[in-house]
Amino acid sequence: MSENAFRPKPSSAREKRNWYIGLLYVRQEYSECLVVIEDQLRECGGLCEYPLYVKALILRQRGKIQESLTLFQSATCLNPGNIANLKQVGHSLYLLGKHRAAIDVYEEARHMDQERKRGGAADKGESGARERDSSDWEIWHNMGLCYMYLKQYDRAIDCYMRANSLGRHDATFLQLGKVYQLQHNYKEALKVYQDALDYSPENPELLTTIGLIYLRLNDNQRAFDYLGNSLTHDPRNAKAILAAGSIIQDNQDMDVALVKYRIAAVNTPNSAQLWNNIGMCFFGKAKYVAAVACLKRALYLDPFEWIIAYNLGLVHLNTGQNASAFHFFSASINLKSDFAASYMYLAIALARLDDFENACSAYEKAMDMEEDHMTHLNFAITLHNFGETARAREEFDAFQRLFQQCGPDVEHDEDVINQSNALRKVLVPAAD
């Protein structure tokens, strides 16, 4: 066989079906597109850049990230000067979790882009010189993503700022705000999202994200306004429905919240957060069997979510199933050890199981973490039940001091007032 058989076909032969491959890809007829691509690759001995590029895109959409990376690298070898190939290599590396390697590829693409602009600047004179510092928005945005996952937040912020200076995109605003949230800088995150709203005032994701930040900042009214605005533009936005439903739920309007959650369940039936909220709605309506069923479904969907185990502990404690309550509160603490209320309710469960010593330890742990009047009240009740009258009086005094500091604007549960009045009748005469 002559050596000419191994030479690639002329460029026109290699590219004759590119238009058809592109058409099939845009139509999302991927199976037929792959057949045409394989035919084209066979004809040109595998040395066709565009078919390799499109095949890699299709494989990546189908979840075959490593195979797509290999194909993008092959396309880059065929045409090292094509920045689009480099960007796709970087994106595949990012999807594979190789963030440092992805940054190196993006840096190479950025330098290549700058060199091109310097060449253009030499031809254009002074006006071209002003353009040579500009770069590709997508490169800076994707570098920001990589730095964010590497927890190098300052570099991520710088990359997103540069991306926004080149072209304002909602995706960049959302990611920039996310970095500020990861730094617990919610005020700066709000500024970013508000700036984004000036350009996309009807973006449901932006409106929902702002509502969630206000919810985190305990400004429920403003949160509800933004979430309602988001639902106006996208009535089936599951995230907005969950957040709005939780506000309605906090206002004890369980039936309205359940109506909201029913809409969300159609689109996200496997959302652990959704079933957690539904379960607590039934708990608020005193339908304990339904509450446990929904919460256990939520726990099945996300067994490592501490709040679900915590809520299951509350339901079992309320129904007198103290051993089960102890189990779920212990699980919640193992998942999130810095939530004081978990220790308080664990202590109540232990006291009901006659484990007085460990109950006291749990109360003390809760009080070390947070000064809360409820912890002192429950500790005083436990001490009184076990005959520790003097210590009970000390804890009740601490409860009264913290209770008075709450102020008149804070609404207290009627059960708390009744329990404190009953304990006062028992302890105050004993003090005399």
Question: What are the pLDDT digits (tens) for 230-248?
Answer: 999 998 888 899 999 999 9
CATH code for 7-117?
A: 1.25.40.10
Among 13-17, 293-297, 331-335, 412-416, which stretch is predicted with the lowest mean pLDDT? 13-17
Mean pLDDT of 40-60: 90
pLDDT score recorded for residue 282: 95
pLDDT mean over 180-198: 93
pLDDT band at 114 (very low <50, low <70, confident <90, very high): confident
More confident residue, 13 or 75: 75
Q: Which two tokens stand for residue 319?
A: 């129904």
User: What pTM, to 2 d.p., does this model score?
Assistant: 0.75
| pLDDT, mean over the chain | 87
Given pLDDT bands bounded at 50, 70 and 90, which one contains residue 121? Answer: low
Neighbours of 417 (CB within 10 A): 11
| Out of 57-61, 305-309, 333-337, 402-406, least confident range | 402-406
Place of tokens 């800076």: 140
**pLDDT at residue 410 in the model:** 55
pLDDT attached to residue 14: 55
Give the model confidence (pLDDT) of 370-417 as tens digits: 888 899 999 999 999 998 888 989 988 888 888 887 765 556 677 778
* HEC assignment per residue over the chain: CCHHHHCCCCHHHHCCCHHHHHHHHHCCCHHHHHHHHHHHHHHCCCCCHHHHHHHHHHHHHCCCHHHHHHHHHHHHHHCCCCHHHHHHHHHHHHHCCCHHHHHHHHHHHHHHHHHHHHHHHHHHCHHHHHHCCCCCHHHHHHHHHHHHHCCCHHHHHHHHHHHHHHCCCHHHHHHHHHHHHHCCCHHHHHHHHHHHHCCCCCCHHHHHHHHHHHHHCCCHHHHHHHHHHHHHHCCCCHHHHHHHHHHHHHCCCHHHHHHHHHHHHHHCCCCHHHHHHHHHHHHHCCCHHHHHHHHHHHHHHCCCCHHHHHHHHHHHHHCCCHHHHHHHHHHHHHHCCCCHHHHHHHHHHHHHCCCHHHHHHHHHHHHHHCCCHHHHHHHHHHHHHCCCHHHHHHHHHHHHHHHHHCCCCCCCCHHHHHHHHHHHHHHHHHHC
Position 43 pLDDT exceeds 90: no
Average pLDDT over residues 181-195: 93
| CA 43 – CA 51 distance, rounded (Å) | 12
Look at the block and give the residue holding tokens 């590029």: 53
Q: What is the pLDDT of residue 333?
A: 96
Task: Flag the least confident range among 130-139, 148-157, 193-202, 347-356.
Answer: 130-139
What are the φ/ψ torsions at residue 302 (nearest 5 degrees)? -145, 85
Question: Closest Cα partner for 227 from 264, 176, 253?
Answer: 264
pLDDT of residue 408: 57
Mean of pLDDT values over 271-279? 94
Place of tokens 């664990």: 346
